A and B are shown apart, each in its own frame.
Chain A
Amino acid sequence: MRQKHLQQLHFFLFFFIVTYGNNALAANGKALQVTPQICVVAQGEKRCQTVVDIQYHTDHLADYCIVIATYHIRRCYQQVQQLQLQVDVKTENSLEIEVQEQHSNAVIAHTTMDVVMYKRKETRKRRNFGWNFL
């Protein structure tokens, strides 16, 4: 009986994590975090305008670069375990962000800041005539 309850608990926890946990985990399960993860385009605007905060943590001391190809940004840091970069962006498209090993250009971590358009739902004028209460 106890075993069954534990199974239920595992199921609920799994359900909970699948539903809400994805935002809390770092991208690709690695320690690259981007804030915001989603940029919502303001009503009446065509582009997302925001300051993107990029942070990367690693256990291995080495030379790393943060690369945003679409912005031609490649910022490198020598012999570090932590990287941080803030970038002003104004974009219509999602932003691909990579951490590369500086010398080999090998991609160590990768994530995306998605751009979501604020789209008004299609609506129609209400018709409510004849006998009604409201």
Chain B
Amino acid sequence: MKVKFIGLFVFTLLLSVEQAFANQQTNDIPIGEASVGEWSFALLGGYAAIENPLKERDSLETYVLPTWSYYGENFYIDNTTLGYSLIETDTLLFDIAGYLNEDGALFNLGNDNLSFLDISNYVPRKNVLRPGYVEPVFADIERDFSYMAGASIQWLNEYIQARFVYGKDISVGHHGEEITFSLFNYYQFGHVKLNWQLGAVRKSRTLVEYYYDLTSDEIGNLTSTGLTFDSITNTYGQIAVSYQLTRHLDFVISVKKTWLDDQLLISPLVEKDSYLKGVAGINYKF
């Protein structure tokens, strides 16, 4: 009997929620846009992976991927991006913004306890007969996430959108800088949504040195790596397609390929000249 009452209550509640949603969401949000003043949460079930171009470091694979965003009148949070709009018209957006740098993420996807000995075939020569000989210690190669603060400017029309983002490290202390230029657009054909993006990221020498050079601790205080870096430019292309199954469910596929600047390949930490990031699954929007 009790079960029936609970069932009735749940049924009534679900209908109430459904009706509340039906009243609220009388129209779809245009593609590439977000409702003002509402938190949005989504959970993707499927497969999401990021291939790691760094030597001996794990690629990340996950089967559940949460995403979130909030857009206020001027302020916004979109996953790890934070910003405040100073200018927002139909054709121009100018924001002060912060975002997470991608290099830092590559160093923190999984196995972090790697030393120079793990990523190279270097074998230290043990000169035990030499008086005062101390066996060299190779510190683990660890790099922190860099949170970048700066500004973004975006132009848009019905054919294309273009965005410049400038960011300078405010979390690690290396003060490296990045400029990203990207071209992208969104399309909708009935239930199918499509988004493409092409971009290039210029990274300053200090940022490149922090991530891709080795410190003397990491090479056993033996010698300098002798590497000299300049600023680099990585490029990327992304395509994302989604198919709306219901008001709350989308089938999503997204693939991004990033090509590293040739100069990065001189770093002993880097193995591949490009890497893929991809997602495929069902996205449930709460």
Chain A contacts to B: CB under 8 angstroms: 5, 8-9, 12, 15-16, 19-20, 40, 43, 118, 120-134
CB closest chain-B residue, reference A120: B27
State the Cβ distance, A14 to closest chain B Cβ, in Å: 10
Q: Provide 7 A-B residue pairs closer than 8 Å at the C-beta atoms, listed in order of the A residue.
A: A19-B15, A123-B29, A123-B35, A127-B97, A128-B78, A133-B50, A133-B279
User: Does B22 count as interface, using CB distance less than 8 angstroms?
Assistant: no
The smallest C-beta distance from A16 to any residue of chain B, in angstroms, reads 5
Complex interface: chain A residues within 8 A of B180 (CB): 129
Task: Decide if B152 is an interface residue (CB 8 Å cutoff).
Answer: yes
A121 in contact with B27 (CB, 8 Å): yes
B36 / chain A contacts, CB cutoff of 8 Å: 121-124
Q: List chain A residues, Cβ under 8 A from B76.
A: 124, 127
CA distance A125 to B34 in the complex (A): 6
Docked Cα-Cα span, A19 to B14, in Å, equals 12
With the chains together, A16 CA to B13 CA distance in Å?
9
User: Quick check: B79 and A8 within 8 Å, CB to CB?
Assistant: no
**Does the CB pair B152–A8 fall under 8 Å?**
no
Known: A118-B27, A123-B29, A125-B154. A131 touches B80 (CB 8 A): yes
The answer to whether A129 touches B81, judged by C-beta atoms less than 8 angstroms apart, is yes
| Chain A contacts for B93, CB-based, 8 A | 125, 127
Which chain A positions have C-beta within 8 A of B48? 133
Least Cβ distance of B61 to chain A in Å? 12
Taking beta carbons and an 8 Å cutoff, which residues of B are in contact with A? 1-2, 5, 8-9, 12, 15-16, 19, 26-27, 29-30, 32-36, 44, 48, 50, 65, 67, 69, 71, 76, 78-81, 83, 85, 88, 93, 95, 97, 99-102, 104-105, 148, 152, 154, 156, 163, 165, 167, 180, 182, 240, 252, 254, 277, 279
Residues of B near A133 (CB, < 8 A) are 48, 50, 65, 67, 254, 277, 279
Within the assembled complex, what's the spacing in Å between the Cα atoms of A126 and B50?
23
Knowing A12-B8, A15-B12 are in contact, say whether A134-B71 is a contact too (CB < 8 A).
no
- Give the CA-CA distance A125 to B9 in the complex, in Å: 39
Distance, CA A134 to CA B29, complexed state (A): 18
Closest 8 CB pairs of A and B: A130-B99, A123-B33, A131-B100, A131-B102, A128-B78, A131-B105, A130-B100, A122-B36
Q: Is the CB of B81 within 8 A of A124?
A: no
**B34–A123 contact, CB under 8 A?**
yes
Measured in the bound complex, the distance between the Cα atoms of B62 and A134 in whole Å is: 13
Q: Nearest-CB distance from B217 to chain A (Å)?
A: 26
Question: B102 to chain A: closest CB distance in Å?
Answer: 4
